[in-house]
Structure 1
Amino acid sequence: MKILTQRVALARGWRRGLLAVGAGAVGALAMPPFGFVPALALSLTPAVWLLDGTARGTRPQTLRAAALDGWFWGFGYFVAGLWWLGAAFLVEADQFAWALPFGVFGLPALLAFFPAFGFAAARLLWSPGAGRIFAFTFGLAVSEWLRGHLFTGFPWNTLGMALGQNIWLMQSASLVGLYGLTVLAIGIGASPALLGPGRTRSGRWTAPILALGLLAAMAGFGFWRVPAAPVASVADVRLRLMQPNLPQDAKFHPGNREVIMRRYLTLSAAPPEGKSPTHVIWPESAFPFLLHRSPAQLNQIATLLPPGTHLVTGAARMDEPLPGEEVGKFFNAIQVVDDRGTIVGSYDKVHLVPFGEYVPKLLDALIRAAGLRQFVHIPGGFEPSPRRGVLSVPGLPPVAATICYEAIFPGEILPDGERPQLILNVTNDAWFGSTPGPYQHFAQARLRTVEEGLPLVRDANTGISAVVDPYGRVVARMELGAEGVLDVDLPVAIAAPFAARSNMFVLTVMLLICLMASMAHRRRVAPV
């Protein structure tokens, strides 16, 4: 172990960069669909050893070396965890294949500046022994929080998701949320770094044993928290989730209007399993046309729905144009249609995907001037809704609606006002085919149930469609690439967990970790 530690810490040049990239890439194995939790230790332990070897010359030189190690580590982590984004550029390869390297390597290169900051922040508080684990945990956890909030935020594959997949371990999110799991994941994953030289044999094993004990305590808490029996179901509600498995390249062409509607209607009209559905749910952006301006299709929906039944579907919508405008503003929406073909409820997406659903106006002008276009076949892209409101669906309790990747933002999915009783997520992951992307998306949406104490109803074009109870247990699921319907009852919500009511616990823990790292650092630099 001594030789390995020294080889990593003292590596230089391209070998050091390659070590950092490789260590980061291994960490992606802890994310869905693999969920190999030990990969976290195999990734974060060498990261600590790399930081041990960054004490070079002046303090600015040391911080630059730490940031560079963090950038290479982050680049490896994000390329290995997000390479599947490249699949979206091949859906219309004749127009977007040229941009594939920017998606596969460009975005990871930008995201890598967050762990670069985290490594540098950790180095500011660095000290020998256990103190450096606190410094590393604090620096990297802060950088993960910043990644989830700055520049509209991108908390995809936050390190805490390594502990947010197992039904027992994920229950700790009810206390500390995703970012609390991130603090725990980093501290646990980095603890084997103390097995290196510089401590007694018994002292080297203290931190890893404590880390394993913490994992066991988390699992025990989860076992205690999750009831043995299924939760009750909401009375007089029966959901039908329709998963059409429609390829993205065939979907948004107006010429396919009738073919697509026929497919939706045929699947949705299948004989029910058990009770007849009261609500039919279709995925995000289900139509290559504006549903609210298509009376023929609304009439078809009315013919499909039995009396008292409602359709809840993703659908783009357009406001009336203002004076002097040719077209109005477009919104990525969820619309509720009753059995007469009337739209009786609507929700507009708040958190849009940068460069996917909108492009900043200056860049949009440059793209068009170059003869290119953005992904969405919408003039100027979508507009964000200014506020997140409750979606009212007749016959359902109040709904916290989310469209696509809105569901990955912890603490941001609930509307103002009364607490909803379920989370609805409609999405279209067909852009990414049979890659890890849809599995990662589902896992992150699933964790929201534990944080908020609410059931999740998720309908996806190509999968994964599912209903999840407020403890994160999957009640029913349709796999990626399947076609059909899922008939299932709606689980009831439970009381709001601690994480849904306050984030003070996580803030307190972060301050304590920072304080312990600072005290260890001050002891190291104090004069003798």
Structure 2
Amino acid sequence: MERIAESIMLSWGVKRAVLAFAAGAFSVLALPPFNFFAALFISFPVLVWLLDGASGPPERGLLGRMRPAFATGWWFGFGYFVAGLWWLGNALLIDAGGFAWALPLAVLGLPALLALFYGVATSLAWLLWSDGIGRIAALGAAFGLIEWVRSFVLTGFPWNAIGYAAMPAPVMMQSAEIVGVFGMSALTVFVFSAPALVGTRRGAVAGLVAALVLFAAHVGYGWFALDRLDRSQMTPTEAVVRIVQPAIDQSAKWDMAEREQIFSRLLAFSALPPREGQPRPTHIVWPETALPFLLTENPGSLSRIADMLQVGQTLITGAVRFEDGLAGSPPRFFNTIYVIDDEGQIIGSADKAHLVPFGEYLPFEALLRRWGLTPVAETFGGFTAADRRGLLGLPGGLGAVPLICYEAIFPEMSSLEDGRGSLLLNLTNDAWYGLTPGPYQHLRQAQLRAVETRLPLVRAANNGISAVVDPGGRIVGSLPLGEAGVFDVRLPSGADEFLLMRIRRFNFGLIIVIMVLTALLARKSKNQRFD
């Protein structure tokens, strides 16, 4: 292994860039749908060895000497995000005539931008670089910090944070309750970088022991937490949830000629009788923007919904909501969840607060529209973000935390100031991405929100993957990607014991401090050896 490490450290030019890109791309095997987390035991040692040899000439000053480390991290990130996000280009092919020109921007441009974050991470780590365990502590701290920064800079896009790669199954998800996905990102990089110490010998025993202890604690806590949940004798609620997955092709979704057929399909699925001996559903859930029209343009639709619902049933559906503009301003459209009772009355609603840039709205809209650009998901017009978020009241005494589409990837959006609620409600439309890894990755990130909050997750997706997840992250009912149908599940109850987000933030900060102190002590020790 020492010869391999030396060869990688001494690589330069194109070979170095290719190695970094390949290591980043290989890391994606740890993500859904592959879930081969052991891939990180190869990719991160390669990154460490590349950084061992990444230092510019002393006469170039600090930034000049840091440049090779930045380039190494950028190429690693570019490989990671190209291999992990290539499926975003599928959304542009739904309307290829209007958006195919932007395919390189989605498949290569966005990964190139996101790779800047990893370039900054490796640059920060290089500032504290040493020749032992301290350097993997520095790398872990830098990645943990940068994944947190990635969650809010430029509106935030924490998709596929490194920490998710170490959580392929419920027993390996429970640590997120304590340290969150950003704390897990720091620990993941530390643990999976540890084999690099074998290739350079110094600090190998201490580093491998620390990594082994952390990995064992990670899995051990998973078993403990799941057993604790099972022993708490959580009884299911009285609510029986029916998830409707219509699998409507995205290209037909807003076709005027298809709207009646789509609506009838949703009604027919919803009216199916329950399986023999099973209770009828109390809450029927349709996906994001399931209604293929504006309710104000189709007033008879509420009557048809009322006719379909039995007494005591409630429909929860995604829809586009319309508001007239004030004082001559243009109308506003919202990506909304409606709650409709058995008399066809709208008894609750929640609007999406965190919109997708370029997908649901245009940054610098006036300028970009003059250049002829429009949002990818524009049907009636660009969407407007909600002014506030709050619990969505549901019949049966339930309070839902609304998470529309990719709001589920933001940990802070699963916690509300006005209450914890009874469940997380995630309506999405992943039909944009076809039969690709995207929907699998989206589901995994939504699962982690259930673990962090210890609340059940109800997830309805147009083309999949729809699921009901218990507070331990375990899927208790689902429909696979691309399959049309329904399933009924008695809603699990939330756990009584849970950690507040501010505790996870504190624990995340503590991990970063410990890793930085470890890196500083190691660097000081190195300097003393060479004095």
TM-score (normalizing by structure 2): 0.95
**What secondary structure is seen at the aligned counterpart in 1 of 2:411?**
coil
How do 1:21-100 and structure 2 match up within 5 A?
21-58=21-58, 59-100=62-103
Corresponding residue for 1:299? 303
**What secondary structure is seen at the aligned counterpart in 2 of 1:454?**
coil
Matched, 1:408 2:412: no
Corresponding residue for 1:452? 453
How many angstroms does 1:388 deviate by?
Answer: 1.2
Matched, 1:346 2:352: no
Kept in 2, the 8 Å contact 1:426–1:459? The answer is: yes
Amino acid of the residue matched to residue 244 of structure 1? P
Corresponding residue for 2:527? 525
How many angstroms does 1:220 deviate by?
Answer: 1.6
How many angstroms does 1:501 deviate by?
Answer: 4.9
Residues 190 and 324 from structure 1, CA distance in 2 versus in 1: closer, same or farther, beyond 3 angstroms? same
Corresponding residue for 2:175? 172
Structure 2 unmatched ranges of 5 or more: none
**What secondary structure is seen at the aligned counterpart in 2 of 1:196?**
helix
Matched, 1:276 2:275: no
**What secondary structure is seen at the aligned counterpart in 2 of 1:288?**
coil
How many angstroms does 1:3 deviate by?
Answer: 1.5
Of 516-525 and 122-131, deviating more is 516-525
Kept in 2, the 8 Å contact 1:452–1:496? The answer is: no
Corresponding residue for 2:508? 506
Distance 1:343 1:16 in 2: 59
Residues 396 and 40 from structure 1, CA distance in 2 versus in 1: closer, same or farther, beyond 3 angstroms? farther
**What secondary structure is seen at the aligned counterpart in 2 of 1:498?**
coil
Kept in 1, the 8 Å contact 2:166–2:188? The answer is: yes
**What secondary structure is seen at the aligned counterpart in 1 of 2:239?**
strand
Matched, 1:10 2:10: yes
Kept in 1, the 8 Å contact 2:348–2:393? The answer is: yes
Corresponding residue for 1:259? 261
How many angstroms does 1:294 deviate by?
Answer: 2.3
CA RMSD, 1 decimal? 1.7
Amino acid of the residue matched to residue 34 of structure 2? F
How many angstroms does 1:235 deviate by?
Answer: 3.8
Kept in 2, the 8 Å contact 1:282–1:312? The answer is: yes
**What secondary structure is seen at the aligned counterpart in 1 of 2:214?**
helix
**What secondary structure is seen at the aligned counterpart in 2 of 1:183?**
helix
How many angstroms does 1:183 deviate by?
Answer: 1.4
Corresponding residue for 2:463? 462
**What secondary structure is seen at the aligned counterpart in 2 of 1:314?**
strand
Distance 2:84 2:55 in 1: 30
Kept in 2, the 8 Å contact 1:237–1:277? The answer is: yes
Kept in 2, the 8 Å contact 1:177–1:499? The answer is: no
Kept in 1, the 8 Å contact 2:124–2:142? The answer is: yes
TM-score (normalizing by structure 1): 0.95
Matched, 1:318 2:322: yes
Kept in 1, the 8 Å contact 2:360–2:378? The answer is: no
How many angstroms does 1:7 deviate by?
Answer: 1.2
Kept in 1, the 8 Å contact 2:290–2:319? The answer is: yes
Kept in 2, the 8 Å contact 1:231–1:491? The answer is: no
How many angstroms does 1:131 deviate by?
Answer: 1.2
Matched, 1:119 2:122: yes
Corresponding residue for 1:141? 144
**What secondary structure is seen at the aligned counterpart in 1 of 2:477?**
strand
Kept in 1, the 8 Å contact 2:403–2:413? The answer is: no
Question: Residue deviations 1:9-53, cap 9 Å, x none?
Answer: 111111111011001101111111111111112111111111110
Kept in 1, the 8 Å contact 2:238–2:491? The answer is: no
Kept in 2, the 8 Å contact 1:23–1:73? The answer is: yes
Distance 1:84 1:118 in 2: 25
Amino acid of the residue matched to residue 378 of structure 2? H
**What secondary structure is seen at the aligned counterpart in 2 of 1:301?**
helix
Residues 292 and 488 from structure 1, CA distance in 2 versus in 1: closer, same or farther, beyond 3 angstroms? farther
**What secondary structure is seen at the aligned counterpart in 2 of 1:289?**
coil
Distance 1:448 1:111 in 2: 23
**What secondary structure is seen at the aligned counterpart in 1 of 2:238?**
strand
Amino acid of the residue matched to residue 133 of structure 1? I
Matched, 1:435 2:439: no
Question: Residue deviations 1:276-330, cap 9 Å, x none?
Answer: 11111000011231125421111110110011211000001011221213x4211
Corresponding residue for 1:375? 376
Corresponding residue for 1:481? 482
How many angstroms does 1:457 deviate by?
Answer: 0.3
**What secondary structure is seen at the aligned counterpart in 2 of 1:102?**
helix
How many angstroms does 1:224 deviate by?
Answer: 1.6
Kept in 2, the 8 Å contact 1:159–1:182? The answer is: yes
How do 1:148-297 and structure 2 match up within 5 A?
148-199=151-202, 204-227=204-227, 228=230, 232-273=234-275, 274-297=278-301
**What secondary structure is seen at the aligned counterpart in 2 of 1:519?**
helix
Kept in 2, the 8 Å contact 1:393–1:399? The answer is: yes
Residues 498 and 414 from structure 1, CA distance in 2 versus in 1: closer, same or farther, beyond 3 angstroms? closer
Question: Residue deviations 1:31-79, cap 9 Å, x none?
Answer: 1111111111211111111111012312322211100111111000000
Distance 1:277 1:230 in 2: 26
Kept in 2, the 8 Å contact 1:242–1:264? The answer is: yes
Corresponding residue for 2:396? 395
Kept in 2, the 8 Å contact 1:176–1:499? The answer is: no
Corresponding residue for 1:308? 312
Distance 2:24 2:256 in 1: 43
Amino acid of the residue matched to residue 356 of structure 1? G
Amino acid of the residue matched to residue 27 of structure 2? G
**What secondary structure is seen at the aligned counterpart in 2 of 1:62?**
helix
Residues 522 and 394 from structure 1, CA distance in 2 versus in 1: closer, same or farther, beyond 3 angstroms? same
Kept in 2, the 8 Å contact 1:169–1:215? The answer is: no
How many angstroms does 1:255 deviate by?
Answer: 3.1
**Alignment coverage as a number of residue pairs:** 522
Of 514-523 and 146-155, deviating more is 514-523
Amino acid of the residue matched to residue 405 of structure 1? Y
Distance 2:259 2:96 in 1: 23
**What secondary structure is seen at the aligned counterpart in 2 of 1:316?**
strand
Kept in 2, the 8 Å contact 1:388–1:414? The answer is: no
How many angstroms does 1:476 deviate by?
Answer: 0.6
Corresponding residue for 1:131? 134
Amino acid of the residue matched to residue 432 of structure 1? Y
Name which of 327, 331, 334 aligns with 1:331. Answer: 334
Residues 136 and 479 from structure 1, CA distance in 2 versus in 1: closer, same or farther, beyond 3 angstroms? same
Residues 507 and 372 from structure 1, CA distance in 2 versus in 1: closer, same or farther, beyond 3 angstroms? closer
Amino acid of the residue matched to residue 112 of structure 2? A
Distance 1:205 1:83 in 2: 39
Structure 1 unmatched ranges of 5 or more: none
Question: Residue deviations 1:396-417, cap 9 Å, x none?
Answer: 4111010000001112222221
How many angstroms does 1:114 deviate by?
Answer: 0.2
How many angstroms does 1:165 deviate by?
Answer: 2.4
Kept in 2, the 8 Å contact 1:240–1:277? The answer is: yes
**What secondary structure is seen at the aligned counterpart in 1 of 2:414?**
coil
Distance 2:25 2:211 in 1: 22
Kept in 2, the 8 Å contact 1:169–1:222? The answer is: yes
Kept in 1, the 8 Å contact 2:291–2:317? The answer is: no
Alignment identity in percent? Answer: 45
Distance 2:214 2:201 in 1: 24
Kept in 2, the 8 Å contact 1:144–1:155? The answer is: yes
Residues 323 and 38 from structure 1, CA distance in 2 versus in 1: closer, same or farther, beyond 3 angstroms? same
How many angstroms does 1:429 deviate by?
Answer: 0.1
